[in-house]
Amino acid sequence: EFAEISIKDIDQIAKSSFPLCMRHLFEKLREDHHLKHGGRMQLGLFLKGVGLKLEDALAFWKAEFSQRVGSERFDKEYAYSIRHNYGREGKRTDYTPYSCQKIITSAPGVGDHHGCPYRHFSEENLRAALGKMGISNRAVEDVMDKVRNRHYQLACTLTFEAVHGTSCDAGINHPNQYFSDSQKVLQ
Ligand code: SF4
């Protein structure tokens, strides 16, 4: 568990330590200044799990969404659900970030960017995304082999190992575990 991350470090941290599912959502949010509900939940709870405080989360989402819908509409339509995720609205449940199992079994529709790229991307898009992470052709082939056999978390584990140049014996079972294991390697 990491105490806190701040907005100014978030792009660099996303690049170095987010698993592919979260990198994809993060990049789409930066690009489109918008994410549909499933993506907001998956990324929002993950960011909470990595230590983004509520005030920073509101500022982070607002900076993007206001470019698209304006800050008034953000305050009216989107801020509530972010506070809700942090247990500050409604039943005040402190929602937990999604596990790989939950993400892999989700069913993203057209225009959605949530889900697990190993499970939900086309082969072409997955190869391109892995290429952007800078892993070798050999490692890409090993990952694709796991994907073909529907071992999505093993594919993610191999990606982790290729990116960090170290073994990950426990395997990946949660995006926040990927993140904390990555930070341990990098620090
Ligand atoms: Fe994300 Fe888990 Fe899929 Fe990796 S295996 S991309 S952490 S959902």
How large a percentage of the chain has pLDDT more than 70?
98
Q: Is 82 in the pocket of ligand 1 (CB under 6 A)?
A: no
52 in Cβ contact with 5 (< 8 Å) = yes
- Sorting pLDDT into bands at 50, 70 and 90, what band is 3? low
Q: Calculate mean pLDDT across residues 148-176.
A: 97
Please state, in angstroms and rounded to a whole number, the distance separating the CA atoms of residues 111 and 138.
31
pLDDT at residue 51 in the model: 93
Q: Calculate mean pLDDT across residues 33-38.
A: 97
Q: Is 160 in the pocket of ligand 1 (CB under 6 A)?
A: no
Record the tokens describing residue 128, joined without a space.
């391109």
pLDDT at residue 1 in the model: 47
Q: Cα angle at 52 between 49 and 55, to 5 degrees?
A: 135
ipTM of the complex as predicted = 0.99
Kindly report the backbone phi and psi dihedral angles of residue 65, in degrees, each rounded to the nearest multiple of 5, phi listed first: -65, -35
Please state, in angstroms and rounded to a whole number, the distance separating the CA atoms of residues 111 and 102.
19
pLDDT one-digit tens code per residue, 77-122: 999 999 999 988 877 777 899 999 999 999 999 999 999 999 999 9
Q: Is 121 in the pocket of ligand 1 (CB under 6 A)?
A: no
The average confidence (pLDDT) of the chain is 94
- Residue among 121, 150, 152 whose CB has most ligand 1 atoms within 8 A, to mutate: 152
Kindly report the backbone phi and psi dihedral angles of residue 169, in degrees, each rounded to the nearest multiple of 5, phi listed first: -65, -30
CA 34 to centroid of ligand 1, rounded, Å: 21
Question: Does 9 have pLDDT greater than 80?
Answer: yes
Question: Does 145 have pLDDT greater than 70?
Answer: yes
pLDDT at residue 32 in the model: 97
What is the helix (H) or strand (E) element at residue 37, kind and residue range? helix 37-50
Q: Is 43 in the pocket of ligand 1 (CB under 6 A)?
A: no
- Residue 155 CA, closest ligand 1 atom number: 5
pLDDT at residue 89 in the model: 81
Question: Does 33 have pLDDT greater than 90?
Answer: yes
Question: Does 161 have pLDDT greater than 50?
Answer: yes
Q: Is 46 in the pocket of ligand 1 (CB under 6 A)?
A: no
Q: Find the length of the chain.
A: 187
- Residue 119 CA, closest ligand 1 atom number: 3
pLDDT at residue 76 in the model: 94
Amino acid at 41: M
Q: Is 20 in the pocket of ligand 1 (CB under 6 A)?
A: yes
Query: Which residue CA neighbors atom 6 of ligand 1 most closely?
Result: 21
Q: Is 154 in the pocket of ligand 1 (CB under 6 A)?
A: no
pLDDT at residue 180 in the model: 96
Q: Is 163 in the pocket of ligand 1 (CB under 6 A)?
A: no
Tell me the CA distances in angstroms from 154 to 102, 118, 170, one per residue in order. Answer: 16, 10, 10
Q: Cα angle at 162 between 160 and 164, to 5 degrees?
A: 65
